[in-house]
């Protein structure tokens, strides 16, 4: 079921409870199947000083944000939109798939605590399936595409090289379709989308699709996992 299908169940409390319990029970087995254990990038950014930023798109931003909020060294992860103009950076408009935006997460990280390469390794491993074109799991449309919006030439070179490395090693059954390009704009999503995984852990879509991603982070990248998420609730998010 899609995210919208799950939302329509919100008026049926009993149904939600049953679905959430069922989803939680089957999620661990899905997690083991969906996560990919992959090698780290052969090359990494070497010249980073101070807090760095990269914007990542990998399906519904709820799960992408949730994973990076549980990642040590990430100082902020904000859900939003990239790839289109500010005038159409609105959830209802983006959901039509006609604005050019991708649901994205702006990841700010401290390179002294976590490298850009490790951010990419987590992104390609537990955050999403980079071989799915214009979709992710139950959600389809260009707004759910896989993309890396870079903030430096070095970031782009490392990302391109890593994709080539993973494709050459045939880590996945199909080629990676992730697009890499310079960030032209990031627009924070509406407040109700922020910290969504933490605030709604039993929502069926989250329980079924996204909680397993965080569990995979904890399992596969234990040294990079933090139990308490770094939330944006108390941070002023502006466009």
From the list 17, 217, 19, 4, the residue with the least C-alpha distance to 119 is: 217
Torsion of CA 170, 127, 57, 205, to 10 degrees: 130
Pull the structure tokens for residue 112: 């002294």
Cross-strand bridge partners of residue 180: 148
d(CA 124, CA 67): 12
Scanning the structure block, which residue is given the tokens 């982070």? 217
Catalytic residue (choose from 60, 102, 119, 207)? 60
Name the one residue in this structure whose structure tokens are 């040294």.
Answer: 223
Active site residue 227: no
Catalytic sites, residue numbers: 60
């Amino acid at each position: 079921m899609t995210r919208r299908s799950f939302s329509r169940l919100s008026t049926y409390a009993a149904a939600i409870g049953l679905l959430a319990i069922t989803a939680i029970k089957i999620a661990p087995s899905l997690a083991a199947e969906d996560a990919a254990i992959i090698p780290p990038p052969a090359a990494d950014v070497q010249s980073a000083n101070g807090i760095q930023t990269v914007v990542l798109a990998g399906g519904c931003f709820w799960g992408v944000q949730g994973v990076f909020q549980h990642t040590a060294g990430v100082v902020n992860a904000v859900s939003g939109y990239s790839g289109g103009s500010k005038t159409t950076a609105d959830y209802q408009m983006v959901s039509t798939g006609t604005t050019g935006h991708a649901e994205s997460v702006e990841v700010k990280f401290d390179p002294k605590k976590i490298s850009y390469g490790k951010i990419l390794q987590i992104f390609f491993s537990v955050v999403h399936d980079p071989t799915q074109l214009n979709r992710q799991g139950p959600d389809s449309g260009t707004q759910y595409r896989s993309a890396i919006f870079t903030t430096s030439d070095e970031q782009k070179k490392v990302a391109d090289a890593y994709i080539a490395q993973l494709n050459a090693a045939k880590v996945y059954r199909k080629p990676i379709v992730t697009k890499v390009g310079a960030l032209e704009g990031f627009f924070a999503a509406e407040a109700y989308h922020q910290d969504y995984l933490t605030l709604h852990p039993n929502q069926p879509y989250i329980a079924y699709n996204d909680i397993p991603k965080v569990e995979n982070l904890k399992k596969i990248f234990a040294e990079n996992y933090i139990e308490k998420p770094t939330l944006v609730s108390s941070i002023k998010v502006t466009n």
